[in-house]
Amino acid sequence: MIRLVEFVNTVVSSGGGSGKEESMFEIVMHHLTDHVMHGGLFDTINSVLSKLSFNLGPLHFDMRMTKWVMMMWIVMVLCIIVFVPLARKIKRDSMGSKSRWVNAWEFIIGFVHDEVVEPNFDPHYVKKAMPYFLNLFFFILFCNLAGLFPGSATATGNLAVTLGLSLLTLLGMMVVGFVKQGPLWIIKGIVPGGIPIALFPLIWLIELMGLLIKPFALTVRLFANMTAGHVVIIIFIYLVMMFQSYAVGIGSVTGSLMIYGLEILVAGIQAYIFCALSAMFIGDQMHAH
């Protein structure tokens, strides 16, 4: 409940203290769009990073730290804090640890192994694939959960972030395809066998489009699911400001709490779905159609 109150204060004060009443669109866009961090240490960091910014033709690469970049750095540090000591404890206790903390993380790692990697890869490639999918799963999970704290941002609610993760999946598909099926994989490996030569160009084009659409679907799926819940919570809170009624306020807070609880569940589900689909897409390229 305290977190929800803090979130309400954040929404109400999103106008920067100017006292100007904002529209629903302005409030939603303020919380769902990226911006460069300012103040204190951020100004010092960005003054250094701005010197690293560059232009590549019509493209401008701004290297300054934004709120989503900051959240990814926080998640990276959090992963190091959690998993480096965890790995040392697991290595030290070769017969199994009695710590509930260690056992809880081992359970999640085992879930990724049994439900994500093992069903999609040949047995002798499972251990090789595990490090990547564990990093992918926990990075997405921590990003999703970190965005639920008041004043923070959901990095996976940024199309650039989800696109970057999806491009890694596409890169994995291409690398596995070329390594396992040879340099002609992109021509012969993606087309089902037995296709008449006359239909081969059309089927190849369709399969190639399907190959490229898969990472696009991953991009939109994760982005949309992590954005939708935040938008609904903001709308519920805005109703309190709009109607200024106790009855509406009770209903809005109740609805916000329900969506907030659902978002915790969605954070884990979306991390699993993204990793499971990525493992399926990459694993499929190990064998010709």
pLDDT of residue 16: 41
Task: Assess whether pLDDT exceeds 80 at residue 134.
Answer: yes
pLDDT of residue 17: 41
pLDDT of residue 148: 85
Phi and psi (nearest 5°) for 61?
Answer: -105, 105
Under 8 Å between Cβ of 32 and 157: yes
Query: What's the chain's average pLDDT?
Result: 82
> What share of the chain in percent tops pLDDT 70?
84
Complete DSSP assignment for the chain: -HHHHHHHHHHHTTTTTS-PPPPHHHHHHHHHS--B--STHHHHHHHHHGGG-EEETTEEE--S-BHHHHHHHHHHHHHHHHHHHHHHHHHH-TT----HHHHHHHHHHHHHIIIIITTTS-GGGHHHHHHHHHHHHHHHHHHHHHTTSTT---GGGSHHHHHHHHHHHHHHHHHHHHHHH-TTIIIIITSPTT--GGGHHHHHHHHHHHHHHHHHHHHHHHHHHHHHHHHHHHHHHHHHHHH--HHHHHHHHHHHHHHHHHHHHHHHHHHHHHHHHHHHHHHHTTS--
Close Cβ partners of 55 (under 8 Å, ≥ 6 residues apart): 61
Among 10-14, 212-216, 247-251, top mean pLDDT goes to: 212-216
pLDDT of residue 6: 46
Task: Assess whether pLDDT exceeds 80 at residue 73.
Answer: yes
